[in-house]
Structure 1
Amino acid sequence: MSRRSARDFDESDVRVRPNRRGSRPRTKDRPSHEDAVPARVVAVDRGRWRTVVAAGTEQERAVTAMRARELGRSPVVPGDVVGLVGDVSGREGSLARIVRIHERTSFLRRSADDDDSTERPLVANADLMVIVTALADPEPRGGMIDRCLVAAYVAGIPALLVLTKADLRDPADFLRTYAPLGVEHVVTSREEGGAVAGLEELRAHLEGRISVLIGHSGVGKSTLLNALVPGAGRATGVVNDVTGRGRHTSSSALALPLPEGGWLIDTPGVRSFGLGHVDPEELLEAFGDLAELAAQCPRGCTHAEDSPDCALDALVAEGAAGTAGPARLASYRRLAATLRRNDPWDV
């Protein structure tokens, strides 16, 4: 057979393949997913979300899900209430799709460092932040507590300070530092036989609420959670004798239902709580008593200790109604100074 030259070919010799990828007409309409089943996200693991459907009922079941493409990059975190479609049976090997994130009541975030404004979402819909710190072994770190309080204020979440290991040190001196902030607190200690004193008082704060546990590694978060939720099985660790810090015993956030109602979300032990995402102007609003007095300061006043003509010093010293005194002002300034260091535009 002789070979045909290029000149011998015409249109009839060309086979046109249909463009299957673009064969469907595009539409901006998206499915409404009115049949989506509500579920609560309890954990995130390697691109899969563990959820609970019909929590607290006879139909309660764990459903593994993936994110639908239409959600884009919207973060989905423990505590979120989402809408699921697809296989929501919860059978082994089944996989549903998250197509909707319900409106959140709160959204707790942090950043990796103070000079990093990238937000790292932690928990959604929490209505109580439980800040856990040990009174000894490891030593309490006030800076971490301050940062957690700032994040809680910005997220609109009330805070509860839980002081563990009171059997090793009296909490009175430490509490005097934070009393002006008006933060509620619970003191716990280990008793003979391994029981935890103060646990019932803590339960009363948690009942019926979605609470998030925050704290350094080694302060006793996992010990508390195991006592509050029988069968939780969170690993507990020890404190390094050289560094005085604990090792990470929880590697991912996990939401667990409380026997008396509500949820408790345990977060991984953190060594730092960056506030690079926080606007320093938001802090004063959290101190309602001082914000009212600050209206008498000159325009542009930073309310810092060295700020000229700041009215807060004189007003607080005079015992203005509704303020907790100089210690309250000092607490605000300590938190505000932290935030100003995060703001590159505040010079």
Structure 2
Amino acid sequence: MSRSAREYDESDIRVRPSRRGSRPRTKDRPKHEGAVTARVVSVDRGRWRTIVEEGTGSERAVTAMRARELGRSPIVPGDLVGLVGDISGRDGSLARIVRIQERSSFLRRSADDDDPTERPLVANVDLMVMVTAVADPEPRGGMIDRCLVAAYVAGIDALLVLTKTDLRSPDSFLTAYAPLGLEHLRTRRETPEEAARSGHPGSPGIIGLEDLRERLSGRVSVLIGHSGVGKSTLLNALVPGTDRAIGVVNDVTGRGRHTSSSALAMPLPEDDGWVIDTPGVRSFGLGHVDPEELLEAFTDLAELAESCPRGCTHLEDAPDCALDSQVEGGGAGTAGPARLRSYRRLATTLRKNDPWEL
């Protein structure tokens, strides 16, 4: 009898086993009342390094993974999270992050101004420390302006730290930020004579470090700056033993080489403050910022813009824009032309999605 004429029975039917479990699905997520609070200090390839029992004297580092119920929710250094599972911190142990506590602040950036994808940086910080060198590499006001906008949108304070002031006076560079009342500090390496007097001639210290330490005390701060500006040098001095890699500046491009590859939160010694180091950045996109918020972030220009006609865009081609006459007039307390140019470049970019290089 041919196969086509044969009668089939149940042995000819193959049933694939179901891949789904037998447990009924539910929309109710577990509450995890017993979750332990921890602070996220670093992220590496789908694993989060956290600190448990912060401030108790029994702190320990615990590695954790993200629980499935959190989906793709971003978890960044500075986040306070809830852990369950093995929180012993022993080698090979792995806990689960089941909850992200409400954030007091959330600092973000985008790759470019025309990129709407947000890149979360850090959470729960209350101070942004913008580190820039006055020489080698040359300071870039555009980067500082962008950081100030991001800090304004995130609702955090800002501090400008000028490094390598032994190479050049920062006075002319600071002129553009004088109307803002932007708090700033100056730092430099000790001279050989100063190092000899301070008792460590073979390892010069940093003048201005104690002032910076005082400003960071009791706060959660994030350090941001281009590669090569001295950010890692400051971190290594603030938190001895950190050993963040120190980069050099390319003689041809004048830019620093990326050294730190990921953000890292560190407790300040003998203090209840934290400082978060971020990788050296070459761009700080503001694609997540509403163009209407931009002028509010330039507080010095926003005050002058109150004299503009209704509906003024404040761009270069805006008719009767009061910013032109008032900035050119150079009245006391007014912003300078460099600040106006920076605002207009950013405003044009955000409105037209036309990225420009820092």
Structure 2 length-normalised TM: 0.87
Q: Structure 1 residue 314: deviation in Å? A: 6.2
Amino acid corresponding to residue 307 of structure 1 in structure 2 = A
Amino acid corresponding to residue 302 of structure 1 in structure 2 = T
Structure 1 length-normalised TM: 0.89
Structure 2 gap ranges (5+): 192-202
CA 1:195–1:70: 2 relative to 1, 3 Å: same
Percent identity over paired residues: 76
Query: Whole-Å Cα distance in 1 between the matches of residues 177 and 303 of structure 2?
Result: 21
Contact 1:82 1:99 in 2 (8 A): yes
Amino acid corresponding to residue 283 of structure 1 in structure 2 = L
Residue deviations 1:123-169, cap 9 Å, x none? 11111110000011111111111111111111111111000001111
2:318 aligned with 1:310: no
Query: Whole-Å Cα distance in 2 between the matches of residues 345 and 177 of structure 1?
Result: 26
CA 1:311–1:74: 2 relative to 1, 3 Å: same
CA 1:324–1:160: 2 relative to 1, 3 Å: farther
* Other structure's SS at 2:99 match: strand
Contact 1:163 1:187 in 2 (8 A): yes
Greater than 6 Å deviation, 4+ residue runs: 2-6, 12-18, 314-319
Q: Quote the residue 2:233 is aligned against.
A: 223
Structure 1 gap ranges (5+): none
Q: Where in structure 2 are the equivalents of 1:145-160 lying within 5 Å? A: 145-160=144-159
Q: Structure 1 residue 292: deviation in Å? A: 5.7
Q: Quote the residue 1:256 is aligned against.
A: 266
2:298 aligned with 1:299: no
Return the match for 1:326 from 315, 323, 334.
334
Amino acid corresponding to residue 90 of structure 1 in structure 2 = G
Q: Between Structure 1 and Structure 2, how many residues are aligned?
A: 342
Q: Quote the residue 2:224 is aligned against.
A: 214
* Other structure's SS at 2:48 match: strand
Q: Where in structure 2 are the equivalents of 1:59-98 lying within 5 Å? A: 59-98=58-97
Q: Structure 1 residue 211: deviation in Å? A: 0.5
User: Which deviates more from structure 2 when the two are superposed, residues 170-179 or residues 207-216?
Assistant: 170-179
* Other structure's SS at 1:342 match: helix
Residue deviations 1:222-280, cap 9 Å, x none? 00001111111111122122222211111110000012221110001111111222211
Q: Quote the residue 2:106 is aligned against.
A: 107
Residue deviations 1:291-321, cap 9 Å, x none? 46645533321123542233456677899xx
Query: Whole-Å Cα distance in 1 between the matches of residues 315 and 250 of structure 2?
Result: 38
Return the match for 1:265 from 272, 276, 283.
276
Amino acid corresponding to residue 325 of structure 1 in structure 2 = G
Q: Structure 1 residue 339: deviation in Å? A: 3.2
Contact 1:303 1:333 in 2 (8 A): no
Contact 2:300 2:334 in 1 (8 A): no
Contact 2:38 2:53 in 1 (8 A): yes
Query: Whole-Å Cα distance in 1 between the matches of residues 95 and 336 of structure 2?
Result: 50
Amino acid corresponding to residue 347 of structure 2 in structure 1 = L
Contact 2:106 2:123 in 1 (8 A): yes
Q: Quote the residue 2:187 is aligned against.
A: 188
Query: Whole-Å Cα distance in 1 between the matches of residues 10 and 316 of structure 2?
Result: 84
Over aligned residues, Cα RMSD in angstroms?
A: 2.7
* Other structure's SS at 2:20 match: helix
CA 1:224–1:20: 2 relative to 1, 3 Å: closer
Amino acid corresponding to residue 167 of structure 1 in structure 2 = D
CA 1:243–1:310: 2 relative to 1, 3 Å: closer
Amino acid corresponding to residue 99 of structure 1 in structure 2 = V
CA 1:20–1:242: 2 relative to 1, 3 Å: closer
Q: Structure 1 residue 177: deviation in Å? A: 1.7
CA 1:134–1:218: 2 relative to 1, 3 Å: same
Q: Where in structure 2 are the equivalents of 1:18-29 lying within 5 Å? A: 19=18, 21-29=20-28
CA 1:65–1:165: 2 relative to 1, 3 Å: same
Amino acid corresponding to residue 207 of structure 2 in structure 1 = A
Q: Structure 1 residue 290: deviation in Å? A: 5.1
* Other structure's SS at 1:326 match: coil
Query: Whole-Å Cα distance in 2 between the matches of residues 242 and 333 of structure 1?
Result: 27
Contact 2:128 2:222 in 1 (8 A): yes
Return the match for 1:198 from 205, 208, 212.
208
